[in-house]
Amino acid sequence: MNTGIATSRALADVKYEIRGSLAHRAFELEKRGYEIISLNIGNPGLFGFRTPETMRLAMIENLGQAEPYCHQKGIFPAREAVVMQQQNRDVDNVTADDVFIGNGVSELIDLSLRALLNPGDEVLVPSPDYPLWSAAVTLNGGVARFYPCPPELGFQPDLEALAGMVNSRTRAIVVINPNNPSGAVYPRETLTAIAALAAEKGLVVMADEIYDQMVYDDAEFVPMATIARDVPCITLSGLSKVYRACGYRVGWCVFSGDTERVRDYIHAMELLSALRLCSNVPAQWAVQTALGGFQSIEGLVNPGGRLYQSRQTIIERIAGSPYLSVVAPMGAMYAFVRLDKRFAGKLDDRAFAQELLEKQHVLVAPGSSFNTPYTDHFRITTLPDSETLHRVFDRVDDLLVQHA
């Protein structure tokens, strides 16, 4: 009898719908000749955003030095550039030995959780979350527990609920700021309360700040490392979003705060980093140029900039729709859109996303794929130009009027 090869049981609770069944269906439709507007992934290069030329030149000029393996933590100029960025942000207890360069933030999330967790350990993850976090917790033997950041609070953390979820198995709190998928930016008071909770309970704070300079209007990005000075803090960021270099696959994580408590943790990260030898070397040479050069993202997120204008188009179109609402995103490159309550019980987020793809050829991500207890949201990226976004919302309205 010929039976299929059994796969790992660890994958049973792992979901990543952003590139899941809907994305596969979109690919099938494209092969049949349909033009799909894909808004499921924040991939700047697909929407005409270019990596700064100085970064490309830095890679080219150092290709001769990029052929051997480098140190498992990354090349020194890249790590030192990250240290300088932290010092410019008033985080002064960091050295190059506290910095790891990885193949994107994704790899470093996996390594940092693998180095920390024992089977059954719990990690507090926001809901909605970027589902790589919950997947990586699960794959490394942990249990992801979701603390609510409900739309009624503007997707800000419910601090009382968060504090009530800590128990003897809790090891870390994940903070995604600016947030993906909601676009929320957390105020200093919120970050201070989370840091105080971590200090009281002896937890690690893991701060995903890949969208750190991507904020709008009067929103202020506050680095978690400037707040969590008395607790172990891991800051994760990289080149993918702010520097529009997703394909370079360069991210970094920085240990700060109470680093004496994490010396063994850092050594565990060194071991895991050594097992994969090193991260992609050529693109590491772009880090120093990126962090030390002109920050072109500011022109994109300020009034008149393309990201700002696209965000405004989304806000205005939703304000004019009887079928949709949104908490205006104050950071990142997404909008987390809510279906009107008239569709409750008739059209949930997955059915809506499926129908929008099949009938209107627009691909979005269902909100529940970001581990929400509600099923009336969907996420779109704000990367398309305004003309494309107008076409998208025309199609969304065409679909929803049929159900209204």
Amino acid identity, residue 343? F
- Cis amide prior to 322 (ω within 30 degrees): no
User: Residue 1: is its pLDDT beyond 70?
Assistant: no
Q: What is the pLDDT of residues 244-284, one digit of tens each?
A: 999 999 999 999 998 888 899 999 999 999 999 999 999 99
CB 269 within 8 A of CB 261: no
> Is 6 a domain residue?
no
Regarding whether 173 and 112 lie in a shared domain, the answer is yes
Averaged pLDDT for residues 6-10: 82
Of 157, 208, 216, the residue nearest 335 (C-alpha)? 216
* Max Cα–Cα distance, the chain, nearest Å: 65
User: Residue 391: is its pLDDT beyond 70?
Assistant: yes
* The pLDDT of residue 190: 98
Averaged pLDDT for residues 145-171: 98
Confidence tier at 16 by pLDDT (50, 70, 90): confident
Cα 307 to chain centroid, rounded: 17
Q: Which are the contacts of 354, defined by CB distance < 8 A and separation ≥ 6?
A: 22, 25
Averaged pLDDT for residues 382-396: 97
CB 137 within 8 A of CB 123: yes
The CATH number that applies at residue 151 is 3.40.640.10
Q: What is the pLDDT of residues 49-104, one digit of tens each?
A: 999 999 999 999 999 999 999 999 999 999 999 999 999 999 988 999 999 999 99
Q: Between the CA atoms of 45, 50, 54 and 55, what dihedral angle is there, to the nearest 10 degrees? A: -10
Q: What is the pLDDT of residues 300-351, one digit of tens each?
A: 999 999 999 999 999 999 999 999 999 999 999 999 999 999 999 899 999 9
Residue at which a domain ends, from 261, 292, 323: 292
Q: What is the pLDDT of residues 369-380, one digit of tens each?
A: 999 999 999 999
Regarding whether 328 and 283 lie in a shared domain, the answer is no
Regarding whether 170 and 115 lie in a shared domain, the answer is yes
Rounded to 5°, angle at Cα 374 from 370 and 377: 65
* The pLDDT of residue 107: 97
Regarding whether 230 and 359 lie in a shared domain, the answer is no
User: Which residues form the domain of 339?
Assistant: 14-43+303-403
Regarding whether 166 and 79 lie in a shared domain, the answer is yes
User: Residue 20: is its pLDDT beyond 90?
Assistant: no
Structure tokens at 186: 């957390």
Regarding whether 137 and 104 lie in a shared domain, the answer is yes
- Taking the C-alpha atoms of residue 41 and residue 18, their distance in angstroms, rounded to an integer, is 7
* The pLDDT of residue 2: 65
- Taking the C-alpha atoms of residue 32 and residue 7, their distance in angstroms, rounded to an integer, is 31
Regarding whether 356 and 261 lie in a shared domain, the answer is no
> Is 48 a domain residue?
no
Q: What is the pLDDT of residues 181-236, one digit of tens each?
A: 999 999 999 999 999 999 999 999 999 999 999 999 999 999 999 999 999 999 99
**The sheet that has 377-381: what strands, in order across it?**
324-326, 334-339, 377-381, 365-366
- Taking the C-alpha atoms of residue 49 and residue 223, their distance in angstroms, rounded to an integer, is 25
* The pLDDT of residue 66: 93
The CATH number that applies at residue 334 is 3.90.1150.10
User: Residue 15: is its pLDDT beyond 80?
Assistant: no
Side-chain half-sphere exposure of 374, counting CA atoms within 13 A: 18
Q: What is the pLDDT of residues 97-144, one digit of tens each?
A: 999 999 999 999 999 999 999 999 999 999 999 999 999 999 999 999
Q: What is the pLDDT of residues 199-211, one digit of tens each?
A: 999 999 999 999 9
Regarding whether 389 and 264 lie in a shared domain, the answer is no
Regarding whether 229 and 371 lie in a shared domain, the answer is no
Confidence tier at 404 by pLDDT (50, 70, 90): confident
What is the three-class DSSP state of 51?
coil
